[in-house]
Chain A
Amino acid sequence: MKFNFFHLMPYPDYDKLPHEWPVSTHGIDSTRIQALYNEYIDEMVDAENYGFDWVGCNEHHYSPYGLMSNPNLIAGALARQTSKAKIAIVGNLLPLLNPIRVAEEYAMIDVMSGGRLIAGFLRGIPHEYIAYNIPPSESRSRLREATELIIKAWTEDEPFGWEGEHYQFPAVSIWPKPIQKPHPRILMSASNAESAEFVAKMRAIMGITLIQDLKIAAGAVDYFKKTARSYGWEPTPDDILVGQQICIADTDEEAKHHMAAAQTYFHQTLMRPQRSAQQLVLGQSRYYTEADAGENFQTRLATLRGRTVEEQIEAGSIICGSPQSVIKQIKRLRQELDCGLLNLTIKVGNMPGSVVRRGMELFRDRVAPEVAGL
């Protein structure tokens, strides 16, 4: 198995309960955020020496939920300061962005890192569409077109133009092209049938997160495999990534205590402001089709929010406990979901840096040796 040290870069000190999104920055000290960037990037740089195969980051806007409006900037720093870990950007929110710019920045990161980019192409969560004033109902069609345009930009040596539904670029020839040929591996979300279809067509890594039930998740994986076969290829565990929050401590009790506290901040402070914005998007646009309305980000998150840490562990939603417990839980995920890639968020909410570091040490010394060969 391979493990991604994934970082949301949350703001951990928000001492009020934010009531609206976008969230005000009144009273926020940007020099504190400078310190956080340093702390978080240090954790990510160190991760490659703690048994993690990838280091990862992603994109969010306008709130303390995540401080990376452009994860490519973080990846640029990681490209220079790491030497062996894959740099997984999971990912750029393609429908919100200029796809040519994404193609260029991703190619730069791949070249700067010597061919270590994992390129996440994501649709994002609903309220992000307000941030960049993009119609949510166009999210899927934009994602599809942008994905194909970026691959063309990476793989076509001769200049070309693009005439599409959302994008028209009459003259494209990005410099440099990625080192990885034909192009860096692509990672996309495939939590429902419609997205799985496109991920299979693009032969991308399937990503699934916020698992509320292992049987439902296994069903999504099976559907992805079946669809991939119809496109003429057979996914392996290296094509299936599962995202989980994780807390590893010396004892089960200690880990559960830290996870419970961090999740309280995560759900009550970081996630709170965007709920109303998400409801606005869901109520007034066709962000979700009928097919995926019942199994979406919001419903899964709401389910998890209502569960205790123990219930989440039992359901396969999170990984939490002593090294021995964590090894068992990882083996279970590997067996039930046939996944070869785990996207692990150790910095959950306001989890203290010392707990994160201890978790990294335990992962390196006691967990990784037992699960890397799975």
Chain B
Amino acid sequence: MSFELKTIELSRGRLSYHVGGTGTPVVYLHAAGGVMLTEPLKALTASHTVYAPICPGFDGTEGNDSLKTVQDWVAMVAEFAEKLVGPRFDVIGSSFGSWSALWLATEHPKMVDHLILGVPAGFRFDGKGGLPADPDARFKALYAHPHKIKSVPKSPDVMAANGKTYERLANNVQVDEALSARLPSIEAVTLILLGTEDKVVPAEAGAHLKRNIPTSQRAFIFDAAHSIEVDQPERTLRLWTDFLKRGPGYVLNQGPEAA
């Protein structure tokens, strides 16, 4: 099922978003590279209505100077969801999007039902991880299997604007201590996903989140670097759909009964 690109006017300004599919609503929060309509995201539209808001300044959209922090962006997402998505929905984040999703779950606990944190940024303990500056090294850090990339590459201008917007919101934070302190208050059932080849998000980040979010599980996706949705689309989709459908009970192998 295909996505449509739409816009909505909010109190903080205009917001563009992709939307597609039918079913239980899912808000997908994008990474620092902007929205990638990956294969699992497209497949998810078979059973869910997927909303992927674009943070102003990303993917060629007009910037919004009022957005100075991740929390500012999250406030905009909350308003977007209130107006368009509904009172309660599932959230999937990717990297920077997972950082945003965590703030959404702490600031608006009643909104978030299932929370899936893909390769979550915001917790680079001891400076570990992060994206290399060198373009080739950066590309290798993102993809273990670059031949699986199916989306059209973004232009250098768009990528530069994405990077600039991300840097403004992230504000060079290595570990978001304020967010870390609030992790125990998260009510959403949470799944943390990590790639076994991911050097951008260190394994310690996933362990920290698992240790501090009360109802949480984490899973390693084998043979995936930072872009788990690209490197292992089937595995990512399987975990997404199982967890969204069954929550913490997804750990039970139901065998043939599942059908």
Contact = CB atoms under 8 A, between A and B. Distances in A.
Interface residues of A, number: 17
A176 interface: no
Nearest to B197: A148
Given A156-B203, A156-B207, A171-B251, A161 B217 contact: yes
B251 A170 contact: yes
Nearest to B221: A163
Interface of B: 196, 203, 206-207, 210-211, 217-223, 232, 235, 238-239, 250-251, 253
A160 B220 contact: yes
Contacts of B211: 158
Contacts of B222: 145, 148-149, 162-165, 167
A159 B217 contact: yes
A164 B232 CA distance: 9
Contacts of B206: 158, 160
Given A159-B217, A170-B251, A171-B251, A165 B210 contact: no
B239 A158 contact: no
Given A156-B203, A170-B250, A161 B238 contact: no
A161 B210 CA distance: 11
Given A159-B217, A167-B222, A171-B251, 10 more contacts: A158-B207, A159-B210, A161-B239, A161-B251, A163-B232, A164-B222, A165-B223, A170-B217, A170-B219, A170-B253
B183 to A, nearest CB: 13
Interface of A: 145, 148-149, 152, 156-165, 167, 170-171
22 contacts: A145-B222, A145-B223, A148-B196, A149-B222, A152-B196, A156-B207, A158-B207, A158-B218, A159-B218, A160-B206, A161-B217, A161-B220, A161-B239, A162-B219, A163-B219, A163-B221, A163-B239, A164-B221, A164-B222, A164-B223, A170-B251, A171-B217
Given A163-B238, A163-B239, A171-B217, A157 B207 contact: yes
Nearest to A166: B222
A177 to B, nearest CB: 14
A281 B27 CA distance: 50
A265 to B, nearest CB: 43
A239 to B, nearest CB: 23
A307 to B, nearest CB: 42
Most buried by A among B206, B217, B220: B220
A52 to B, nearest CB: 37
A164 B221 CA distance: 6
A161 B219 contact: yes
